[in-house]
């Protein structure tokens, strides 16, 4: 089945890259100028980014550095037929930015749906749809967000994006990191044998600027991802794989420093700069809107949806200290001099959580790695390595440390939760990716006595991966999963839900009364048309910082807009 899927993927990529090759213009093959779709992102009340990538000539392939500078025309309209145009313009692009186009369209009406399209050389792109945010002080009855994370193209088809694209009821999509993966073919695929359902391009680990550009381009030829981008406005952040596995501010687990001639991969900071540049070119996100902080571009930023909610998107890779080494027995993870956020981002986050009398009710934090603590005192030793493969947790001696996540930076976690407690902040809601599994958690300061003693100061919902391997994928033995889940739940009374074996997406629905997260799961990753079904829903009632299971997902059809 994997061989058939890989062959289909190759045919698909070829068809998208060389569309209409049989047609000619002046005796030359016609080039499809819009092979990588359209996207919108970072909604403000009066502005939204729109994005595309153009291929002006057959040689102007992504990462090639080839092709002429061209002027691309764009339009934004109120209607699907693009007859009532409200904004339009021209933008110049060239090989210097890999022929990507990103326009910050201003002068729009708040809380309004628009449609947009790009034009070049007599061709037009597919039509995209975008939605602006409401004004800061608007009364908002409902906010609905898609949640996705960890999409490894080699590990399967992006059916979760198909599920997102098929919905008509989302105000935005939050991508919580690992939009793409750096590995080469055969290095990280599907299941314990790393089968490549669709092998990566370029056919090696991405290190150079050209590599990162080509990989972004490959992902954006996926038809389900294209549809999801065209259908909804996205708010994104990165985790580690947009650069390299287990990235920290001066290195990464799978970056080999040193000269290329000696088998090294060069300077990590140069590699990260290339990755960030390609991300800026290829993603509908506002980077570089503020001054650089000296060690990377600022991606953490916030959005406001009236009086109902704010969304604060974190960058937990660019400024973090190196992960603690295992075994953790020297107090490293609790060292207050070590940080996962960096000082500037921590101060910014605390400010977002306490914004005075006009603060929105719900404070949603787009959190790339899990903040809830996890202990594994009773986990069978035989299952330690499979859990590590999926989550990066370090449970061998029962220590409550996940050293790549907030468990490895407990002083920062305590600072955030103490801030919530001391300022009596209610309705802090962390939404998280990274861990390839679904979780619903309460956030107490002291898990050892909770819930008998102490309160919860926030809630965390974790969405499963789009395709990246989970526990049963690593072990090949799904019967072992309940053993792990039972042990975790028994040792962590603040964790109310855990699913280690599913792939898919989530939908977060927020009202003044509650915030509800619905988990949707896909069938087989190697089957492009696999089924998508609702799995489970959990909610937190406003003001409680507790979670409980609910019986049904929110209706997909909305009446509020």
User: Consecutive 10-residue runs of the chain (561 residues): their mean pLDDT?
Assistant: 37 36 49 97 98 97 98 98 98 98 98 98 97 96 98 98 97 98 96 94 97 98 98 98 97 91 90 96 84 65 97 97 78 89 96 86 98 70 57 44 86 96 97 96 91 95 97 87 88 94 97 98 96 98 98 84 60
Which among 181, 211, 178, 208 is positioned nearest to 196, based on CA atoms? 181
Instruction: Tally the residues of the chain.
Output: 561
Pairing mode, if any, of strands 85-93 and 123-124? unpaired
Question: Which tokens is 109 given?
Answer: 């009406």
Residue boundaries of the structural domains of the chain: 31-131, 143-550
Topology given in CATH for the domain delimited by 31-131: Immunoglobulin-like (2.60.40)
Query: How much is the pLDDT for 530?
Result: 98
Query: How much is the pLDDT for 269?
Result: 94
**Burial classification of residue 392, based on how many CB atoms lie within 10 Å of its CB (0-12 exposed, 13-18 middle, 19 or more buried):** buried
Residue 15 is inside which H or E element, if any? helix 2-17
Question: Which tokens is 4 given?
Answer: 């058939």
What are 345-373's pLDDT values in tens digits? 999 999 999 977 788 999 999 999 999 99
Contact 172, 138 (CB under 8 A): no
Residue 148 vs residues 275, 362, 506: alpha-carbon distances, Å: 21, 20, 7
Residue 67 vs residues 28, 63, 96, 191, 428: alpha-carbon distances, Å: 16, 11, 10, 39, 48
How far is C-alpha 50 from the geometric centre of its chain's CA atoms?
A: 18
Classify domain 143-550 by CATH architecture.
4-Layer Sandwich (3.60)
Q: What CA–CA distance (Å, rounded) separates 323 from 432? A: 19
Contact 64, 95 (CB under 8 A): yes
Backbone torsion region of residue 72, taken as left when φ is above 0, otherwise alpha when ψ lies between -120 and 50, otherwise beta: beta
Q: H helices then E strands: how many in the chain?
A: 10, 24
Percent of the chain with pLDDT strictly greater than 90: 76
Q: What is the 3-state secondary structure (H, E, C) of 194-247?
A: CECCCCCCCCCCCCCHHHHHHHHHHHCCCHHHHHHHHHCEEEECCCCCCCCCCC
Query: How much is the pLDDT for 559?
Result: 61
Query: How much is the pLDDT for 403?
Result: 87
């Amino acid at each position: 089945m994997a061989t058939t899927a890989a062959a289909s993927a190759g045919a698909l990529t070829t068809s998208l890259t060389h569309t209409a090759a049989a047609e000619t213009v002046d005796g030359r093959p016609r080039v499809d100028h819009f092979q990588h779709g359209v996207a919108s992102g970072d909604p403000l009340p009066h502005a939204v980014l729109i994005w595309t990538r153009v291929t002006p000539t057959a040689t102007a392939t992504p990462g090639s550095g080839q092709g002429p500078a061209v002027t691309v025309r764009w339009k934004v309209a109120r209607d699907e037929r693009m007859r009532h145009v409200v904004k339009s313009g021209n933008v110049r692009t060239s090989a210097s930015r890999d022929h990507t186009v990103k326009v910050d369209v201003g002068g729009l009406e708040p809380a309004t749906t628009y449609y947009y399209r790009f034009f070049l050389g007599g061709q037009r792109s597919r039509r995209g749809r975008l939605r602006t945010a409401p004004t800061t002080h608007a009364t908002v009855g409902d906010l609905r967000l898609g949640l996705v994370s960890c999409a490894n193209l080699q590990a399967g088809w992006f059916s979760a994006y198909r599920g997102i694209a098929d919905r008509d009821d989302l105000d935005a999509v939050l991508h919580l990191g690992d939009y793409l993966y750096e590995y080469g073919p055969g290095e990280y695929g599907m299941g314990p044998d790393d089968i490549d359902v669709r092998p990566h391009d370029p056919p090696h680990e991405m290190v150079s600027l050209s590599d990162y550009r080509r990989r972004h381009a490959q992902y954006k030829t996926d038809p389900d991802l294209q549809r999801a981008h065209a259908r909804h406005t996205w708010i994104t952040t990165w985790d580690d794989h947009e650069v390299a596995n287990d990235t920290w501010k001066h290195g990464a687990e799978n970056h080999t420093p040193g000269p290329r001639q000696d088998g090294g991969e060069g300077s990590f900071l140069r590699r990260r700069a290339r990755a960030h540049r390609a991300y800026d070119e290829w993603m509908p996100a506002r980077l570089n809107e503020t001054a650089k902080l000296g060690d990377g571009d600022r991606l953490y930023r916030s959005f406001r949806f009236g009086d109902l909610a704010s969304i604060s998107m974190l960058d937990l890779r660019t400024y973090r200290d190196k992960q603690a080494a295992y075994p953790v027995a020297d107090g490293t993870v609790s060292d207050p001099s070590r940080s996962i956020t960096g000082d500037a981002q921590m101060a910014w986050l605390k400010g977002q959580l306490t914004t005075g009398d006009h603060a929105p009710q719900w404070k949603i934090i787009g959190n790339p790695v899990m903040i809830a603590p996890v202990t594994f005192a009773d986990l069978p030793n035989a299952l330690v390595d499979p859990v590590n493969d999926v989550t990066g947790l370090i449970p061998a001696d029962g220590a409550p440390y996940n050293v790549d996540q907030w468990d490895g930076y407990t002083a920062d976690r305590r600072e955030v939760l103490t801030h919530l407690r001391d300022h009596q902040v209610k309705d802090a809601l962390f939404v998280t990716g990274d861990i390839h599994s679904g979780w619903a958690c309460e956030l107490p300061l002291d898990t050892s006595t909770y819930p008998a003693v102490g309160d919860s100061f926030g809630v965390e919902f974790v969405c499963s991966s789009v395709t990246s391997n989970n526990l049963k994928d690593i072990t090949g033995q799904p019967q072992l999963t309940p053993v792990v889940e039972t042990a975790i739940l028994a040792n962590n009374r603040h964790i109310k839900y855990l699913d280690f074996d599913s792939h898919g997406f989530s939908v977060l629905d927020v009202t003044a009364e509650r915030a509800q997260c619905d988990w949707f799961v896909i069938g087989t990753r190697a089957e492009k048309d696999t089924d998508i079904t609702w799995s489970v829903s959990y909610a937190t009632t406003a003001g409680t910082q507790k979670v409980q299971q609910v019986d049904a997902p929110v209706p997909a059809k909305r009446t509020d807009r």
